[in-house]
Each structure stands twice: as C-alpha cells, then as structure tokens.
Amino acid sequence: MSLVVVGSVAYDGLETPHGKVDRILGGAATYIGLAASFFTDVKLVGIVGDDFAAEDREFLAKRSIDLEGLEQVPGKTFFWQGVYSADMNDRTTLVTDLNVFADFDPKLPEGYRSAPYLMLGNIQPALQRGVRAQMNGVKLTAGDTMNYWIKDYRDELLATIRDWDFLLINDSEARMLSREYNLRRAANAILDMGPNTVVIKRGEYGALLFRRDSHFMVPGYLLEEVFDPTGAGDCFAGGFIGYLAEHNCDLKQGHIDRVDIARAVIYGSVMGSFCCEKFGPDRFRTLTREEIDGRFREFREFTEF
C-alpha cells in the first residue's frame, strides 16, 4: 500500500565523536522515505534547490522512491548543521538555513492523492494540515513535530493533530505538549488531543507506544558503535509506518491487533538502529531486507522471557 511522505529534504553538516562531514544528504523526508522503502512503495513530497545533486536523486530513485513530488526550484537546498555531545544523546544546532524550504507549499501530484498512508514529517502544522486536505480517502495519518511548533504554534498544532492517528514525539516534547511531566500521564493527555496512538522516542533508550487500551515498550538496540544518530527518529517512523502499510494495517481502535502494533514498533527500532551505523543515510545504500529481518529476530530473542 502506497505511503506519501512529506518533509524536509536537506543537506546536513554533521559532527559526531566519530568524525565530521561538511555536506551529506539529509532531511526528515529523506530518512523516513528511505527507511519505509524497504517495506512499501513511497511517494516523496519535498522541495530542493538547483544545487541538489543528480547522484542524490538517483540514490532515492534506486530505492524505488517516487520523486514526482520532489519539487526543484532555483536557489539553495535547505541546509542544517549540528554537533553531537560525547555520549551523542544531545546535539546542538549550529546552522539552519531554510533556503528554498522557507517557501515550501506542498502540492501533491494527482497520482499521490489516493494513497492510503500518509506520514507528515516535521514542518509547520498548517502545511501538514494542508497536505492531508489534499488526500482523498487516507486511511492512516501519522506525523512528527518539534518543540518550536509546540511552543509558538500551539493552537495550530492542536488543530492539526486532532485528525491524526499517530503522533511521534520525543520525551521532552511530549512533556511540553501535554504539560505533564510523567510520561504515562503525558501520553494519556496526548491521546485526548486526537491521535489513537502515540510513540514517545527516548533516543538510545528506545521507545514507548501508548494507546487507550495498551502500551508497549521497546529498548534501544545496543550497537557497539553509533557513528551518527541523525535521522534515527525519522527512520523509526519510516520503519513503523512502512510495516503498517506493508500489512495494510489500520491503527483505529479495534482495527489492529497487538501483535502487529508490537511488530511495527520493533521494525521502527530496527530501522533507527541501522541508521546510526554510518554517517547520514549511507547505511541505506547497502542495507537489505534480510539484514532487517535478521535484526528483527534478534530483538525478539533479547526481549523474550
């Protein structure tokens, strides 16, 4: 089942304790799309400048990602630069040059509008809402957001997530959005805002999924070496929604069983862990579905008792 992915397509400058790259393909939609492409067919919506390299387009196209919705306009591609702390749990943004992304006004190609699955990367809530309005018959809407929108665009954000099935958010943002410190209470407050499913990301410590009738916890996969955590949260989203799309799952209460939800969360974690093994999205150049399923089985073994 097709998945429409909307969000930033970027060049990133990254510095981690393992090294530094000045310019590498990045962006939330890039990571979500790449991760999801191992499960389902992906239709990307984004904007890039005329500096966007043909080889980067090719990389995405080789993963069978539909790029009809990737608009290319005069100007520079969105550029983001960040540096990570020694334990890589914190990062500082050094540069955010929106460039052509500042005028992003997503328009879905005709062939995208009937897709049943939609994943809205972190962009202005009104734009996320506008994208959903262009879809006819969407079955599952998922989205991400960040502190900036929670703080300064709260009403707009609340009006937007009201229509979502799934919200992906990190722990500090969940607290900020819900105004509750305890994560269980925070999750319940968010479930009252519209989504039927909330996943709270906890970086290397894993993720917590909450629904009205259940919750599920997954630890982070213990990699021996984390090279670069950039995009791990987006890859979690890509793996999670990708699995649901592959299995034609609906998240609405009473329409999905616990096993499928648990599997989707584990596949999300698996994709997030692979993302960290190389700089930027490079791990996805060679990754195979066999490796993904192998790590899924490993997860099952080390959490079973």
Q: Residues near 87 by Cβ (< 8 Å), separated by ≥ 6? A: none
**For residues 28 and 266, which CB has a smaller minimum distance to ligand AMP in the complex?**
28
- Residues 162 to 221 in contact with ligand AMP, rule: CB under 6 A: none
Question: Which secondary structure element, helix H or strand E, spans residue 34, and what is its range?
Answer: helix 28-36
How many whole angstroms separate alpha carbon 206 and alpha carbon 200?
9
Closest to 121 in 3D by CA, of 144, 142, 139, 138: 144
Q: How far is the CB of 118 from ligand AMP (least distance, A)?
A: 17
Amino acid residing at 132:
R
Closest to 223 in 3D by CA, of 9, 12, 16: 16
- Among 12, 66, 204, 228, contact with ligand AMP (rule: CB under 6 A): 12
Q: Residues near 16 by Cβ (< 8 Å), separated by ≥ 6? A: 83, 84, 88, 226, 227, 228, 229, 279
How many whole angstroms separate alpha carbon 218 and alpha carbon 300?
10
User: Coil, helix or strand for 272?
Assistant: helix
**For residues 225 and 290, which CB has a smaller minimum distance to ligand AMP in the complex?**
225
Give the N- to C-terminal CA distance of the chain in Å, as an integer. Answer: 34
How many whole angstroms separate alpha carbon 70 and alpha carbon 272?
24
**For residues 35 and 135, which CB has a smaller minimum distance to ligand AMP in the complex?**
35
Listed ranges 60-68, 131-139, 229-237, 285-293: which one lies at the site for ligand AMP (CB under 6 A) = 229-237
**For residues 26 and 220, which CB has a smaller minimum distance to ligand AMP in the complex?**
26
Residues 42-81: x/- map of binding to ligand AMP (CB under 6 A)? --------------------------------------x-
Should residue 231 be labelled a site residue for ligand AMP when binding is judged by CB under 6 A?
Answer: yes
**For residues 3 and 123, which CB has a smaller minimum distance to ligand AMP in the complex?**
123
Residue nearest to ligand AMP (CB): 26
Residues 19-38: x/- map of binding to ligand AMP (CB under 6 A)? -------xxx----------
The two tokens of residue 290 are 């066999």
The two tokens of residue 80 are 């983001």
- Among 99, 145, 230, 273, contact with ligand AMP (rule: CB under 6 A): 230
Amino acid residing at 133:
A
The total of other beta-carbon atoms located within 10 Å of residue 192's CB is 10
**For residues 151 and 184, which CB has a smaller minimum distance to ligand AMP in the complex?**
151
Q: How far is the CB of 163 from ligand AMP (least distance, A)?
A: 21
Amino acid residing at 242:
G
User: Coil, helix or strand for 279?
Assistant: coil
Size of the site for ligand AMP (CB under 6 A): 14
- Among 4, 5, 10, 44, contact with ligand AMP (rule: CB under 6 A): 10
- Among 122, 196, 197, 273, contact with ligand AMP (rule: CB under 6 A): 122
Q: How far is the CB of 154 from ligand AMP (least distance, A)?
A: 17
* Contact positions vs ligand AMP (CB under 6 A): 8, 10, 12, 26-28, 80, 96, 122, 230-234
